[in-house]
Structure 1
Amino acid sequence: MKIVFNLAFVLLFPMGCWAVDNLSHVPQINETQDERDKRMEWFRDAKFGLFVHWGPCSITQTEISWGRDAERTMDIRNGAKPSEQVERYGHDFYIPGDLYDSLYKYFNPVKFDADQWVQTARDAGMQYIVFTAKHHDGFSNYHTKLSDHSIANTPFQRDIVKELTDACHKVGMKVGLYYSTRDWYHSDYLVGDNVEYDTFYRGQVEELLTNYGDVDVIWFDHVGGRDWSKWKFDELFAMMYERNPDLIINDRGAKFCGPRTPEDKGPPTAEIETMTKGDFYTPEGRIGKMDIAKDWESCIHVGKGWSYRGEGGFKTPEECIQMLVSCTTGGGNLLLNFGPRPDGTFTDAETQVAMAMGQWLKTYGDAIYGTRGGPYRNGTWGGSCHKGDKLYLHVLEWPADGLVLDALPAKVLSARTLTDGKVTFSQSDKELAVNVASSDRETPVTVIELTLDQTLSPGTIVGSVR
């Protein structure tokens, strides 16, 4: 399998035509707060998305990219093979690199149905989908003109990204594409001045933003090389925002860049450093700490790994509901990952999680979608969020005598659970006490709606549970 560099593509989509002084349209360094709020509004309102990691690795049930036992040139652990490392990243099964790289020859997911994937996400209450267009293993899940190592050269042949983005667009589902700048397959990755690979990957990102309709999120995943001089981030961001002025980007576009050596002086400008931090940060495999000042999204897998690892080891629906609640009240989003089988179907456990969460959200969605975290700090008890004149308390663990919270700068007019259970409350200038009878408490979370005499401003913090 070879990497191809298509001259016609470069002439059609010329790179290098942007310079550092032509970044006036890049929002991260130019937009006002009001403009940013408008651009980020749908993302902040959505709260819940589907992450999908998938590729030929599903055939062997090994972890995507990380299960490939081959040298990683100038990258993780100085390029050593995973099997030679003491720290194994929690993965217990590796296959030789040559075998891993040949799996595409057998990848034929005949049961893949993009419409069904999107319907499952909708049934779960998810508001957007982020799909792996290319992971660290260099395999492209779409028809790229810049590499032969793609879905086009599998027995399946069909363009997965095309079918999935079309299915999303048909029903108004927001679309995100994951793209790993790090590439352990590409022969030019981090070689010399990296100009060949840098041009290649920017070309692939341009393909994704040009050929697949509206793409709402580009979800980068680390560059690997630590030398800022090896990457033309100014040209990348200028191109992306020329293609889509409303694009949202995560914080990993320049992750793992230096400085690490005397020769590497770090980001060439403060603008580029700010720009590459993107629009939201991405706690991985954990719930982010409460932060209502910045946008964030926790990405967490339901199964044993990011890609298909068999039919066992899945989180329960109750655990996933609690994760969504913790992200929402903490000011962030939950991007919940599924790893489809090699035939293109979701596992039974993933489908069960999706259906259970969707059912829960039919009742409790008002306390999730469109809310903002706060005004009470999260804790083992749970957390709070608000929208309009409603304040929602999500109680995971009840204190023995009910909730006693710091004083609220608004009058509580009424209180109820979202299943119309009875709520008692008392309010003074010193505290707010709230309780629900044991018979009306619910698992995995009790949700209480307080109606206030005024709205709370986003970013309000008034205290916590005493």
Structure 2
Amino acid sequence: MAKLEDMEEKQGIEDKEDVVEEGVHNYSTEEYYVAPTDPKVLQKLEWFQDQKLALMMHWGVYSQLGIVESWALSDADAEWSRNCIDWEVTGEEFKKQYFDLNKTFNPIRFQPEKWAEIAQEAGMKYFIFTTKHHDGFCMWDTKYSDYKITNEDCPFHTHRYADVCAHLFEAFRKKGIGIATYFSKADWHIDSYWNTKFEKGSYQNRGPSYNPSEYPEEWERFVQFTGNQIMELGTKYGKIDIMWFDAGWVCKQNNQDIRLGEVIDKIRKFQPGMLCADRTVGGAYENYVTPEQCVPDKPLNIPWESNITLGNSFAYSYEDDYKDPREIVNLLIDIVAKGGNLAINVAPQPDGRLPQKAICSLKGLGKWLKIYGDAIYGTRACKPYKKDGIAFTKKDDVVYAIQGFSDETDSVAKEVFIPYEGNVKEIRCFKTNKALEYNKKENGYMIHLPEYESDEAPYARVFSLI
């Protein structure tokens, strides 16, 4: 593992904005990982690696438009993010209309308890929610910004669930689901970050409108504002298991140090062991890494979580296509076999409901996990990880061999070769717990199974190697 000072020197030559391409983030590699030394944080990392499955949600004013979250505000990202938007050459009218979306955001069909019930039925173990995306709109009752869902210019502010984060976090905690607060370190609404008075005028990119080294007082205003909001979330909204920070270009290596570590250390006095995912930055406050819309080719030797959308985008998109349960199950198996967690993103509708097609996929995932969850939750990676169509996990002295089927028309053979070279005393069918006949081969075991009696291949079947 890298030492912190070595990692910072190495990363200092990089442009942190390059880690994001068309809104999709890259992820830190093992060489930049700094293992925590706090025993409580280490204990929490073990908890994290047990969970395996998270529900992630991007929800904000942008859901009304059905476009990518926040990114269309950045002039530097206009070419890819303003598709199908009627905007002027400068984009100024569009940006004004976007920032005014708070005046029409009124999700009166929002049901936090229903969301939590669906998450529980889907087998979710922790919940990552966008408290604030790059556009700066706050989904909690912050006292440091008027650009929030509880402000009087937002029609939802009179609703009993107006403080969205408070009600969501409580509803999910009651279901035994952990809480992670997504928070963008960039804020494109606050004038201490984006301001037309500087050289660039109205043209904006992902970073601040100015060089923090040249305008230290302006930057300090932003640092204080950001720290205050993070402290709010960490001290006034109940138990927080993870603080999940986006906008990795806001970092010390870009002369944009918000002194995040100081804030996290303060919060950990109230929230001992709380994890911090300062994604794409590396170092002591990126306790786990976050591949986005991808799965690493090989296992990582550090804690990690793939953030993958159930539909085609993180934000709500009208007439979106959703992954079916079979696809999600096999995605989860691939990730867990490589030692990671899956955070599956479901974007709520602008009216406050979850899309029905998304709910069906989640419930299908949960139905499989109710039977086979012990081969997923609480497991760790096990060599050979994934080979010849068989994925492996391990818990205590039991190795689970998981055979996935990508299509319902796949052939379900009566004999299955398990390429596992460890010693095995018996092999059982996980679902029935019945012992199976098998023969030891040079590089594994050949299992002999009863005739499969369905016309449709299962999502996956599991064998216990004892």
Moved more, 194-203 or 137-146: 194-203
Cα distance in 2 for residues equivalent to 1:301 and 1:45: 21
Cα distance in 2 for residues equivalent to 1:227 and 1:274: 11
Indicate the residue corresponding to 1:55 in structure 2: 60
Contact residue 415 and residue 425 of structure 1 kept, 8 A: no
Contact residue 392 and residue 402 of structure 2 kept, 8 A: yes
Task: Report the secondary structure of 1:412's partner residue.
Answer: coil
Task: Report the secondary structure of 2:96's partner residue.
Answer: helix
Unaligned runs of 5+ in 1: 1-26, 72-79, 256-272, 453-466
2:342 to 334, 337, 350: 334
Contact residue 392 and residue 447 of structure 1 kept, 8 A: no
Indicate the residue corresponding to 1:30 in structure 2: 37
Task: Report the secondary structure of 2:419's partner residue.
Answer: strand
Relative contact order: is structure 1 or structure 2 higher (C-alpha 8 Å, sep ≥ 6)? 2
Moved more, 231-240 or 175-184: 231-240
Indicate the residue corresponding to 1:148 in structure 2: 146
Indicate the residue corresponding to 1:20 in structure 2: none
Cα distance in 2 for residues equivalent to 1:28 and 1:241: 17
CA displacement 1:30-51 (0-9 Å, x = unmatched)? 335xx55522232111111100
Cα distance in 2 for residues equivalent to 1:110 and 1:36: 39
Cα distance in 1 for residues equivalent to 2:225 and 2:35: 24
Moved more, 107-116 or 418-427: 418-427
After TM superposition, the structure 1 = structure 2 runs for residues 213-362 of structure 1, keeping only pairs within 5 Å, are 213-225=238-250, 228=253, 229-231=255-257, 232-252=259-279, 255=281, 274-276=283-285, 278-291=286-299, 293-362=301-370
Contact residue 286 and residue 300 of structure 1 kept, 8 A: yes
Structure 1 residues 451, 206: CA separation in 2 closer, same or farther (over 3 Å shift)? same
Matched, 1:176 2:180: yes
Cα distance in 2 for residues equivalent to 1:438 and 1:63: 48
Structure 1 residues 367, 92: CA separation in 2 closer, same or farther (over 3 Å shift)? farther
Indicate the residue corresponding to 2:164 in structure 1: 160
CA displacement 1:263-309 (0-9 Å, x = unmatched)? xxxxxxxxxx6313x21110101123342521111111111211110
After TM superposition, the structure 1 = structure 2 runs for residues 2-41 of structure 1, keeping only pairs within 5 Å, are 29-31=36-38, 37-41=42-46
Matched, 1:371 2:371: no
Cα drift, residue 314 of structure 1 = 1.4
Structure 1 residues 433, 237: CA separation in 2 closer, same or farther (over 3 Å shift)? same
Cα drift, residue 132 of structure 1 = 0.3
Cα drift, residue 430 of structure 1 = 5.0
Cα drift, residue 380 of structure 1 = 6.1
Cα drift, residue 103 of structure 1 = 0.5
Structure 1 residues 39, 420: CA separation in 2 closer, same or farther (over 3 Å shift)? closer
Task: Report the secondary structure of 2:55's partner residue.
Answer: strand
Task: Report the secondary structure of 1:439's partner residue.
Answer: coil
Structure 1 residues 44, 92: CA separation in 2 closer, same or farther (over 3 Å shift)? farther
Task: Report the secondary structure of 1:50's partner residue.
Answer: strand
Cα distance in 2 for residues equivalent to 1:386 and 1:181: 37
Matched, 1:185 2:224: no
Structure 1 residues 350, 384: CA separation in 2 closer, same or farther (over 3 Å shift)? same
Task: Report the secondary structure of 1:234's partner residue.
Answer: helix
Indicate the residue corresponding to 2:129 in structure 1: 131
Moved more, 242-251 or 57-66: 242-251
Cα drift, residue 389 of structure 1 = 2.7
How many equivalent pairs are there? Answer: 391
Over the matched positions of the two proteins, sequence identity in percent amounts to 28
Cα drift, residue 391 of structure 1 = 1.4
- The one-letter amino acid of 1:324's match is L
Indicate the residue corresponding to 1:107 in structure 2: 105
Cα drift, residue 122 of structure 1 = 0.2
Cα drift, residue 90 of structure 1 = 10
Contact residue 328 and residue 373 of structure 1 kept, 8 A: yes
CA displacement 1:357-386 (0-9 Å, x = unmatched)? 111111111111111121223246141101
- The one-letter amino acid of 1:230's match is Q
Structure 1 residues 443, 198: CA separation in 2 closer, same or farther (over 3 Å shift)? farther
* TM-score normalised according to structure 2 size: 0.77
CA displacement 1:404-423 (0-9 Å, x = unmatched)? 51421x32323214256884
Contact residue 292 and residue 374 of structure 1 kept, 8 A: no
Structure 1 residues 94, 428: CA separation in 2 closer, same or farther (over 3 Å shift)? farther
Cα distance in 2 for residues equivalent to 1:215 and 1:233: 16
CA displacement 1:413-460 (0-9 Å, x = unmatched)? 2321425688442226753333545626974543232242xxxxxxxx
Cα drift, residue 196 of structure 1 = 1.4
Report the aligned-residue RMSD.
Answer: 2.6
Cα drift, residue 315 of structure 1 = 1.3
Task: Report the secondary structure of 1:358's partner residue.
Answer: helix
Contact residue 402 and residue 463 of structure 2 kept, 8 A: no
Task: Report the secondary structure of 1:374's partner residue.
Answer: strand
- The one-letter amino acid of 2:242's match is V
Cα drift, residue 52 of structure 1 = 0.6
* TM-score normalised according to structure 1 size: 0.77
Unaligned runs of 5+ in 2: 1-33, 88-93, 194-207, 406-410
Cα drift, residue 245 of structure 1 = 1.6
Cα distance in 1 for residues equivalent to 2:191 and 2:447: 62
Task: Report the secondary structure of 2:393's partner residue.
Answer: strand
- The one-letter amino acid of 1:203's match is N
Structure 1 residues 412, 251: CA separation in 2 closer, same or farther (over 3 Å shift)? farther
Cα distance in 1 for residues equivalent to 2:418 and 2:242: 40
- The one-letter amino acid of 1:304's match is N
Cα drift, residue 311 of structure 1 = 2.9
